[in-house]
Structures are given as C-alpha cells and as structure tokens.
Amino acid sequence: MKNAIFFIFITSLLFCYQSSVAQSIFLNQDSLNFKHYIWSDFESYENSNSINSRFIKAMYNNGYIDDGLKNSVDMTHNIYGISELQFSANYLYLPFADTSKSPLGFFASVSTGFIRALNFTPDVYKLIMLGNKSLAGQEATFNNSRFYMCDFQKLSLGFSLRLPSERGDAFAVIYAGPVKGQRYMEFESAESSLYTSETGEVLDLQANATWYSSDQSKRSNSDFAGNGFAAGAMLHINDQVSGYWIFARADNIGSINWKHSSTRTYIDTTYHFSGIEITNILNLDSTGINISSDTLRKIIEQNTDTIHFRRSLPETFYIESGSHFLNNKITISGSLLYVFRTGMPLPRLNLQTRWNFNRYFSPFINLAHGGSGTFSGGIGVVSRPTKNLYFQIFTPDILSFFAPDFSYANGLTFRAAWTF
Amino acid sequence: MSMRVYRLLFLALVLFSSCRKDNLKPEWDADFLAPLMTTRISIQDLLSDTIVQSESDGTLTLVYESLIGEIYLDSLLIIPDTTIGYTASLNNLSINDIIFDYSISLGSIAREDSTLNGPNGGLYETIMTAHNTGLPTHIQAIDPMTFDNIALNAGDYFQTITLENGDLEIRIDNHFPLIMTNVIYELKNSVGNQVLVRDTFLTILPNTSETHTHSLAGMTLENQLSGFVTLSSLGSPGDVSIDTSYALTAQIEVKNIAIQSAIARFPAQEILSLNQTADFANNDIQLTRAIIKEGMTNVVLQNTLGEAIHFSFEIPGAKLNNIPFLIQGTLPAGTVSNSSEVSLSKDLSNYDIDFKGIRPFELIEGDLNGNNMVDAPVDNSLYYKLSGSIDSSGNFINLSQSDFVSAQCSFQHIKPAYIKGYFGNMQKDTTGVTTFDLFPDIDIDGASFAQARLFLSVENQIGASAAMHINTLRAINTQNGQSALLSGLAATNPFMVTSASDPNSLAIPVTPTMNVLELNEQNSNIQQLVSVLPNTLEYNIGFELNPGQNPPAPNTGTDFAYDNAHLSCYLNTEIPLNLSFTNLQIHDTAISDLQSLNTENINYGNLVLYSYNLFPFDAVVNLYFLDSNQVLIDSLSASPILVNAGIPSQNGKVLTPYVTKSVVPFNSIRLENLKQTRKIKVTGKFNSAPPSQHVQVYNDYFIEFKLVGDFNYHIKP
C-alpha cells in the first residue's frame, strides 16, 4: 500500500502533461482551400499550481529531492497537477461542395494518450514528502484528494462536411471509434485523515476512499487491459473577411470497460494504532512479538474486489477563437481547455500572440493561467516552408529553462502538417 | 494510404508511447513517528489475575486459594462385583400319581368254585340259586381261593421309574355280604419279576374297606405290573341276598413320588421357584439404596432336562421408571452330556435399587422365602426371585440324578450415581505437594505485609460428617530453601466437617458445606509459615467419615454420596496489598519476529520509550535482544532505564502517573542487530517507595510503556 501511494504521487508529478495548446492547425492557413489535410501532433505537457519545474526535473533525472526542494512546493492550498503525453496521426478529407459529387468527406485518426492528474491536500504532500513527524500533534486531512491515471489508444473514423459561406470557410467533423485500454488507476478519498499524536504514541487513521485499478500485470503498449468506445466532434468557422475564426472540439467522449483482474477497493474504516499491544509483557511465555504489522494491508485486501468496471475517458473540451490584425501581420487568439475527471478546478486559459514576419518564421508567445496550474509564459514558432507544409514547435513556459524555481509548467509540442 | 504509412504511424505510436517515464525513481528522506509497541502492566499482571481482589474502596487484597488435598469417594463407596448361583437337581420333579383299579365279583368266586369243586352241591350252586331265586341264603365259609390274573399297565405314565421315594397305597372295598379273611395280594414287575409289595388283609367285614400303604423307596417300577390275590371267607353272618355282581374292589395308587430316575411323561409344572437375597458385602458400609450410573447384570442358565424351561429372574427392589428389573426367557431342552445354556445381559444404568433385602416385600406379601417368618431388617441385601417351569409335551423324558437346571446371576462393574446408607468410619489420607503461587514467576528478596490472614477450608459434598486431620503441612520456599512446618492445636486437633444436605435429585448439584478454620497465632505458627514466602506446600491430610459414630440400626443409615462426591481442603490466603518489598524481579523471554522489519531504508533515528507509572514502585527495566542461541546481541539501553515511582497525593494515593521519557539512539548497525534478534528478554526490578515503608496498592494502578520509533527514512519508490 505504501508503495502504491508513492507510485500514485510520483507518477502524478512526473506526468503532469496537458494538451494545453491544441490549436487548430488550420489557424495559420489563409483559407480552407485544400481537400486533404494530413497532420501529426506530439504533445508533452505538465503543469501544476504548486510544484515547480525544478522539482519535476529532479524527478525526471532520478534526482535526490532535498529538503529545500521539498519545501519549495507551495503547501498553503490544495496541490493540483496534470500531465498528458499524446501522439496522434490524422487525416481529413474535406471535399469542396461545388465540385464534389458529395459534400461529405471523412476523418481518420489514430492516437495514444497517457494522462495523469492529481488533486492533493497539502497534508498528503507533507505526509509523503516530509513524513508524519511534520504533522505531529495535528490531524492531517486528505479530504477529497484525488489521483487519476489513464493510458489508452484509440482509432477514430468519421465524417466531415464543408460548410459553404460567402465570408469564408467552415467545416464540421464528427467521429467515433474503438478504444484500447492500457492502464487505469483512480483514487479518490472522501472524509479521510491521519492523526499523529505529539509524541508519536498514537496514530489514528480515518479512511473513506475508493480505488480503481486495471490489471497491473497487463500494462504494456500491446496489452488490452480494457476496451471501449469514444466519440468526438470538431467545428471550425473561418471568416476571411474579418479575419476572425472560432474552433471548438470535444474529444474522448466515451468509456472503457476494464477487464481481466481489475480491482475495486472501497475502504470506510477507522484504525487506531498505538503500537503492537503486548497484553502482558511480564508473562510472554511462548508468545511471539511481531512488530511488522500488516493490519492496514489486510484491511485493504479485505475490501478489494476483483471485478470488471467501466469508467469514463477524460473528456476534453476545447474552444479557441482569434483574429488577424494589421494585414495579417499579427494574430491574436484565446482558448479555454477543460479536461474532465482530472480534478481540474477551472478551465485553462491561453492567450497567444503571433507575429507573422514571413512564411518561414512566425514566432508567438503564449500566456496561460488556470486549470490545474498557475501562470506560465510560453513561446513557439510556426514555419511554412512551402504552401503545403506546416510546422510548429512550442514550449509552454520559458521560465522552466532559465528559472525553474519559478516555473510551474513545462513540456514540448511539435506539430507537422501536409495539405494538398 | 499505403501500408508503409500505416507502419510508420504504428512505429510512431510505439515510440511516443515509450516516452513515458514510468520507471523514474526519485529519492528523498522523510521523518516518521511510528508507535511500535505498547504494554500496560497492572497489579494483576504483576501478581496473576486470579489472586488479586478489588475491595470497595479500591484497595487490593491478595487472595489466593491453593488446593492442598482432595479425596474422592468413588473408589471407596463401591458396589462390589457379586455373583449369586443356584443349581437345582431335578429329583423333585414330579409326575402324576398312578392309580390302578382291580375287582373280583361274587360271580367270579362262584365260577372259580365250580372249576375247583364242580357245579353241584357246593358254593357255586348256593350262590347261583340265591342269585336266581332272590331268596336270602346263608353262604358257608370259603376256602382260600387265588386269582392270579392281575395285570396293571402304567405305560401312559412312564416306561420305567426308579423312585427316590414313593408310596403304594392299596385300598380294598368289600361289597360282598361275606366276612373276608386272609386277603393276600402281591404286585411285581412283569418283566423283572421284582416283587414290589406283598401284603395280607386279615379280615374285611361286609361293606367295609381297608387300606394298607407300602413304601416304594428305592424300587424301580416297570410300566407293566402283574400280581395275584388270594382270598378266603368265614361266610355270611346269616341269610343274605345274593347278587353275583357283588365285588371286592381294590384301588392301587402310587403316590408321593420322588424320582431318582425315570423315563416318564412329566406334566406341566413349576420346577424352580426361589425367593432369595444376594449379599453385597462392602466392608462396614451399610448400603440401603443406590441409583446406578453404569453396570450390568448377567444371567446364565443351564438345563439338562429334555424339556424347555421357561424362566424368570426378577429383582423387585430394582426399578427403572417404577418397573422392576426383569429378565425372562426360555431355556431350550438339553441333555446331561450337552446342557442347553442361555446367557442374558441387561444394563442396570439408572436403576434405583433397594438394598434392604426381602423384608420390605414380606411385610406386604408375607413370608416369601419359606422360613415362615418376616425376615429382620438388613442392609447390603438384594432380594431376587428366580422361577422356572416346564410345559407338558407328552413325550417320554429321560430323567436321571445328573439332570439339573442352574442359574448364575452376576452384578458387574456397577458404579453408582448415588448411594445411601451408612458409610462407616472410613479413613483416607492424601499426600502431595502443591504450588503456592503467591508471586508467580517473580523473584523477590523480601516482602513485608501489614496484615495477612490464612484460612483452611474444607468443602464437603458428601452426606456424611467427617473429621480432618492435618498430619503434615509444610510451607517451602524452593528458591531460598526455607521451610516451616505447621504446628499447634490446628495441627493436632481434628477439624470437624459437617455433612452436606441431600438434594434428593441427580439433577440438582449438591451444595457443599464450607467448613473454615482460621489459622491464627492462637492455634498455629502460621506467621512462621507466611514469613518464608512459600511457593510450595507439602501436605498430608487425613479424613475420617462419621467420626465417633456407631453403626446405626439396619435400614436407618442417612449418609449419601453422589457421583464424584469429594472432600476438598484448601488453604485460602488473604493479604491486603499494603506492603513493602525489595527487588521484586520479573523477567521473561519472548520469541520475536523482527527480521521482517524493513530497516534498510532507515537512515538514523531514536527509539523513544515513554513510561507512565502510577505504582508507588520505582522500577528499572530493559529489553535485551538475543539471537537464536540466546546470545545477547544488543539491548534497548546500555544501562537499565529508570522509571520513577508515582508520587502519592495527600491521601496517599497516586493520582497522576509519573512520566519518564527515555531516548535511545539507533543507527543502522543497531537496527541490523534488531533484525538479527530472535528472542527478546524483558527484565524489570521493582522496589516499593519509599523504602521499608508499607504502601497501599489500588486496583487502578498501572505502569504503561509506549515505544515510539522516531526515524529518518530514505524513500525510494
């Protein structure tokens, strides 16, 4: 159990990753004047409202987390964090309404996603990183702490429809497909606490928590720990007259039925521990003294059922809007992102400004705030070496490279597209 | 898209999936407080749960009861195995009386005279003329005349019979109008010609009868008998009417037959009828009643007679659900060389048996055993009835002196659940050594009690009074070798123990009488015994039942005992815990399983022992860690940890525990020692405080130890 708790905590810190800048690839096109769109996204992203980038890097580097680093974490409020690692390859066929026999096109995508999210009370952090001595004489509360982890791959197939407009271009896509579940963990505590007496003579644990886990013996890329179904939709409207566009996408709407030796643990118990109680130390006879108590483990085992369970995917909702200014020299956009099931308290807000110097070099800055993280300032570059090629690279917080103590987001986004 | 594109896409998926850093292992150190062990020692733990008694004011009294002698009466109050036997020869077997009739008519005499003297002018003519004319006629004297045609057939009764005893009775009725003289008769076996009887009736007057009886003892009778009769007459006393049918009749009866041997037909008859008692001799115990817990009765019967015998064995005084004990059956026919045998067993469990003999039944039914009186009251006596009978089969049965019928009844392994009567002056000693664990497993140099009381109590479950003799009672301290022998009046005078009351039910436990003798300075040297702080008592205790009592009249004993009834003698000790002591030492060793402790990630730390002491005792304690060979590896503390005594308030009671915190640093080496530990030895030494001053101990006193680990732990997920 102890290792499991550490695992949750560590992995949730290591994979704070989020598709925070899922901008439409079409944002930078002059118009939707192609029929074929092939693009690929690689996104690695993590952010937190309390855990800085130096802390994260220390973990990435298998580093020793010293007291200074541990205390650098803001422990004055709940600690949120989210991470996502995603790769996708996509194809969109978008026929022109006036030349095609049918206005319907189609959409295909394969993707893999690994998402981790946490929402911990400061006491959870203190207990794990500092030890319960830092909580002596206090009741450490774990109320509504949450950890979420879901690894999955999916295939999406759907239809696209170009929507003719006198002012510009627009299209809609709706898609669905099977999902392969690879690994899943979900922990959520209700009213839970741990009291450590001042002298350490007494521990009082109140635990009200639920834990879902897929079959952890089947967690590699090729394992089918579960299967399910997911759907999504996209809508893009581009007003070429005013230079205004809006893009919205809903993704991962569906669920996975986790199979094999998946388990569900529900604990609602109180546990008082004041050491191994030796009834009469003066009359031990052949009594054995075994200090390696495994009571907690037994409680967990007794409340664990091996069952198949169905849990929702991390539904993602993204909306983006922007406009071109100064004869397309400057592009300003904003977006909101919310990922359900991650404990994200608010949507993540992004504001981006791009300077379109030439087709080879269009730098932009991205300011973000909210979600599971805090303020971050990222930079990126868009390049269109030819009419049909598009590249973009982006990092969410420039401070993570220069002042990691003050950075609470880091990662890398790379996007390549070919249109014809 | 081509397959190449698909392959590229799949490869890219795998590559990017592999970017996850699942195996990252950051490390850090954290400080943890963990309660490791807690134990609370009460006064009950120190002195054993069973011996400390709380008083209403919260003070404690050391109460200890030591069983120093116990006598069960099971082995004494027994009903011994008893066998009663009866063998009956069958010479008293009877057969019916044998009766023959024989007659000689006046016509027969006339014909015999005609044969002897011719028909004219003689007796023949006189008789026939008188018969024919009907005129009264005088009959002259008749010379002796013999009739030798007597033939008697007893084939319906027997083939042959040798008589142990018997009589042959001949009765002659003279229906002639003649005075008969010298009537001679003879009877003999037809084949063997043995004369059975020869006799003469000298005179038989007209219309009278004469009877003669002869003994046949020792004679053998054949079923075909023959004989003759010789008769003569003085003639008629005057003129008489004559009818030739007038006859002289003889009735021959064989009676009062006692058979020595026979081949005969036997009529239906009872051949065996006994009303007797069996005596259960049992030392000087006078048993009047018993309810049987377990036991068997076995009846074995044998028969040589060629007739089946119906038998019945009854114990009227043994009843189950008010139904008398009864065994009955049929003993098949046998022979002398091969007797038939029947063996029947019956469980006596739960039978309520009266051991007052035959008298209670004779008082109701009259004399039963043929002694023509109602028997006197007796104890230990069981009345039983044995009877046997045969049916008449009509067959000839060969009966000899070797024939017999026997019955053997045994009472075996009888264990009573209840007995009543008089148990006599039974005496029994018990000797032994018993522990006197006033301070179990504790070494103590010295102790002083403000007050101590000892009682000798005898618990009696037996319905009889008793006297207890303390032959020997020695208090021994095996640790220091000191001992003291009880002396004084308590040791020399018998201690009287009263009888228990009979609940008169097996379902209701007997309430024992408690007989208490306080051992004090006046009747013993008890303080001398206490002062050695004994842990062992050596004893020889004697009990005598019904001391000084003479046996009561039969049937009047009132002693009783139920199963497992016993006399127990206890030594009860009451010592108020107002004491002082020095160096009360305790030590014990426990098996430990600390090798599973995950200590390798502990960087450093302390073991912190918190002691909460309410006792007015100073203590020094320590834990020693031993390997599997009991070799010392390490100890909790280099020097024993001092735990100060609780400080009494003004009323003399400790209200707040004295808290002692002892910090024992532990490094990785010592932690490794802990893992090698296989046994933990606990030691403690207590001294009452202040020294040499009695302190009162209350029931809520305790000393509590809490061991807390304060460790810096290296976390490496």
Domain containing residue B546: CATH number:
2.60.120
Amino acid at B610: Y
DSSP secondary structure of B278-307: EE--BTB-EEEEEEEEEEEEEEEEEE-SSS
| Minimal-distance CA residue of chain A relative to B45 | A280
Quick check: B398 pLDDT over 70? yes
DSSP state of B245: T
Nearest by Cα to B534 from B456, B447, B600, B472: B447
Listed residues B576, B609, B630: the one ending a domain:
B576
**More confident: B351 or B22:** B351
A137 at B interface, C-beta within 8 A: no
Nearest by Cα to B688 from B696, B678, B676: B696
d(CA A71, CA B573): 66
* Confidence (pLDDT) at B467: 92
pLDDT digits (tens, 9 = 90+) for A338-371: 998 888 888 989 999 989 888 889 899 999 998 8
* Confidence (pLDDT) at B361: 92
pLDDT grade for B676, boundaries at 50, 70 and 90: confident
- Interface with chain A: mutation pick from B28, B603, B705, highest number of A CBs within 10 Å: B28
H/E run at residue A338 = strand A330-339
B chain contacts of residue A128, beta-carbon cutoff 8 Å: 30, 715
Quick check: B134 pLDDT over 70? yes
* Confidence (pLDDT) at B598: 65
Nearest by Cα to B276 from B413, B85, B23: B85
Listed residues B397, B422, B447: the one ending a domain:
B422
pLDDT digits (tens, 9 = 90+) for B634-672: 888 888 888 888 888 877 788 888 998 888 887 777 777
* Confidence (pLDDT) at B592: 67
- Interface with chain A: mutation pick from B7, B24, B592, highest number of A CBs within 10 Å: B24
Q: DSSP E strands: which ranges in B477-601?
A: 483-485, 495-497, 513-519, 536-545, 559-562, 566-576, 578-582, 584-592
CB A194 within 8 A of CB A203: yes
Question: Which of A66, A283, A290 lies closest to B45 in CB terms?
Answer: A283
In degrees and rounded to multiples of 5, residue A14 shows phi and psi of: -75, -25
A chain contacts of residue B34, beta-carbon cutoff 8 Å: 132, 200, 203
- Min distance B679 CA to chain A CA atoms (Å): 9
A138 at B interface, C-beta within 8 A: no
* Confidence (pLDDT) at A150: 92
Quick check: B597 pLDDT over 50? yes
Amino acid at B640: P
d(CA A120, CA A9): 9
If asked whether residues B412 and B448 sit together in one domain, one would say no
Quick check: A11 pLDDT over 60? no
DSSP secondary structure of B299-345: EEEEE-SSS-EEEEEEEEEEEETTEEEEEEEEEPP--SSS-EEEEEE
Instruction: Identify the bridge partners of residue A237 per DSSP, sorted by sequence position.
Output: A170, A246
Q: Give me the mean pLDDT over the A75-104 stretch.
A: 83
**Is residue B336 one of the residues assigned to a domain?**
yes
**Is residue B19 one of the residues assigned to a domain?**
no
CB A78 within 8 A of CB A121: yes
Quick check: A15 pLDDT over 60? no
Residues of the domain holding B149: 98-264
Of A196-205, B523-532, B537-546, which range is least confident?
Answer: B523-532
- Interface with chain A: mutation pick from B9, B18, B20, highest number of A CBs within 10 Å: B20
Whole-angstrom CA distances from B370 to B2, B120, B375 are 131, 69, 10
Domain positions in chain A: 2-419
| Minimal-distance CA residue of chain A relative to B46 | A282
If asked whether residues B445 and B541 sit together in one domain, one would say yes
B chain contacts of residue A3, beta-carbon cutoff 8 Å: 717
Nearest by Cα to B97 from B210, B264, B332, B241: B264
A chain contacts of residue B598, beta-carbon cutoff 8 Å: 292
Instruction: Extract the tokens encoding A135.
Output: 């909580």
Q: Give me the mean pLDDT over the B3-25 stretch.
A: 48
Quick check: B11 pLDDT over 60? no
pLDDT digits (tens, 9 = 90+) for B564-586: 888 888 888 887 777 777 887 77
Is B20–A70 a contact, with Cβ atoms under 8 angstroms apart? no
If asked whether residues B351 and B410 sit together in one domain, one would say yes
CB A27 within 8 A of CB A332: no
B439: Cα separation from own chain's centroid: 42
DSSP secondary structure of A89-113: EEEEE---TTTSS-SEEEEEEEEEE
Is B37–A291 a contact, with Cβ atoms under 8 angstroms apart? yes
A residues 302-361 lying closer than 8 A (beta carbon) to B: none
* Confidence (pLDDT) at A278: 64
**Is residue B393 one of the residues assigned to a domain?**
yes
- Interface with chain A: mutation pick from B16, B612, B680, highest number of A CBs within 10 Å: B16
- In whole numbers, what is the pLDDT of chain B averaged over residues? 84
Is A133–B33 a contact, with Cβ atoms under 8 angstroms apart? yes
A286 at B interface, C-beta within 8 A: yes
B chain contacts of residue A132, beta-carbon cutoff 8 Å: 31-34
If asked whether residues B141 and B248 sit together in one domain, one would say yes
d(CA B700, CA B41): 11
d(CA B315, CA B325): 5
Is A196–B33 a contact, with Cβ atoms under 8 angstroms apart? yes
DSSP secondary structure of A147-183: EEEEEEEEEEEEEEEE---SSEEEEEEEEEEEEEEEE
* Confidence (pLDDT) at B450: 65
Number of domains in chain B: 4
Quick check: A4 pLDDT over 50? no
**More confident: B90 or B373:** B373
A chain contacts of residue B30, beta-carbon cutoff 8 Å: 128-131, 133
* Confidence (pLDDT) at B272: 80
* Confidence (pLDDT) at A2: 45
B chain contacts of residue A153, beta-carbon cutoff 8 Å: 13, 17
Q: Give me the mean pLDDT over the A17-32 stretch.
A: 48
**More confident: A27 or A77:** A77
**Is residue B148 one of the residues assigned to a domain?**
yes
- Min distance A89 CA to chain B CA atoms (Å): 7
B chain contacts of residue A87, beta-carbon cutoff 8 Å: 12-13, 16-17
H/E run at residue A408 = none
CB B353 within 8 A of CB B317: yes
If asked whether residues B244 and B283 sit together in one domain, one would say no
**Is residue B17 one of the residues assigned to a domain?**
no
**Is residue B690 one of the residues assigned to a domain?**
yes
- In whole numbers, what is the pLDDT of chain A averaged over residues? 82
B chain contacts of residue A184, beta-carbon cutoff 8 Å: none
Nearest by Cα to B268 from B158, B403, B162, B394: B394
d(CA B689, CA B697): 12
B26: Cα separation from own chain's centroid: 82
Q: Give me the mean pLDDT over the B504-508 stretch.
A: 89
In degrees and rounded to multiples of 5, residue B652 shows phi and psi of: 90, 0
If asked whether residues B521 and B646 sit together in one domain, one would say no
* Confidence (pLDDT) at B76: 59
A282 at B interface, C-beta within 8 A: yes
A68 at B interface, C-beta within 8 A: no
**Is residue B13 one of the residues assigned to a domain?**
no
d(CA B282, CA B419): 13
- Interface with chain B: mutation pick from A282, A285, A410, highest number of B CBs within 10 Å: A282
Nearest by Cα to B390 from B527, B225, B265: B265
CB B208 within 8 A of CB B179: no
Residue linked to tokens 């850093």: B21
CB B622 within 8 A of CB B609: no
Of A19-33, A400-414, B123-137, B417-431, which range is least confident?
Answer: A19-33
Residue linked to tokens 């817990």: B293
* Confidence (pLDDT) at A20: 39
Quick check: A373 pLDDT over 50? yes
Quick check: A5 pLDDT over 60? no
pLDDT grade for B465, boundaries at 50, 70 and 90: very high
If asked whether residues B475 and B371 sit together in one domain, one would say no
Quick check: B181 pLDDT over 60? yes
If asked whether residues B481 and B416 sit together in one domain, one would say no
Of B380-384, B410-414, B680-684, B701-705, which range is least confident?
Answer: B680-684
**Is residue B4 one of the residues assigned to a domain?**
no
If asked whether residues B130 and B237 sit together in one domain, one would say yes
Quick check: A110 pLDDT over 90? yes
d(CA A355, CA A358): 9
A residues 88-127 lying closer than 8 A (beta carbon) to B: 89, 91, 110-112, 114
d(CA A236, CA A248): 7
Is A200–B9 a contact, with Cβ atoms under 8 angstroms apart? no
* Confidence (pLDDT) at A1: 42
A residues 149-168 lying closer than 8 A (beta carbon) to B: 151, 153
Omega within 30 of 0 (cis) for the link into B690: yes
pLDDT digits (tens, 9 = 90+) for B27-74: 888 888 888 778 888 777 766 555 677 777 777 777 788 887 788 876
- Min distance A79 CA to chain B CA atoms (Å): 19
- Min distance B542 CA to chain A CA atoms (Å): 37
d(CA A38, CA A92): 6
* Confidence (pLDDT) at A17: 31
H/E run at residue B389 = strand B381-390
Question: Which of A62, A201, A292 lies closest to B610 in CB terms?
Answer: A201
Whole-angstrom CA distances from B305 to A44, B388, B420, B570 are 119, 12, 43, 65
| Backbone torsion region of residue B284, taken as left when φ is above 0, otherwise alpha when ψ lies between -120 and 50, otherwise beta | alpha
- Interface with chain B: mutation pick from A11, A133, A221, highest number of B CBs within 10 Å: A133
* Confidence (pLDDT) at A101: 67
> What's the order of all strands across the beta sheet hosting B142-153?
B142-153, B224-235, B179-189, B195-204
> What's the order of all strands across the beta sheet hosting B566-576?
B52-54, B60-72, B566-576, B453-460, B513-519
d(CA B327, CA B386): 10
A residues 203-222 lying closer than 8 A (beta carbon) to B: 203, 221
Whole-angstrom CA distances from B250 to B102, B170, B214, B569 are 5, 7, 15, 89
CB A338 within 8 A of CB A348: yes
If asked whether residues B226 and B121 sit together in one domain, one would say yes
If asked whether residues B474 and B346 sit together in one domain, one would say no
* Confidence (pLDDT) at B32: 87
| Backbone torsion region of residue A341, taken as left when φ is above 0, otherwise alpha when ψ lies between -120 and 50, otherwise beta | left
DSSP state of B59: B
- Min distance A260 CA to chain B CA atoms (Å): 22
pLDDT digits (tens, 9 = 90+) for B682-699: 788 888 877 777 787 787
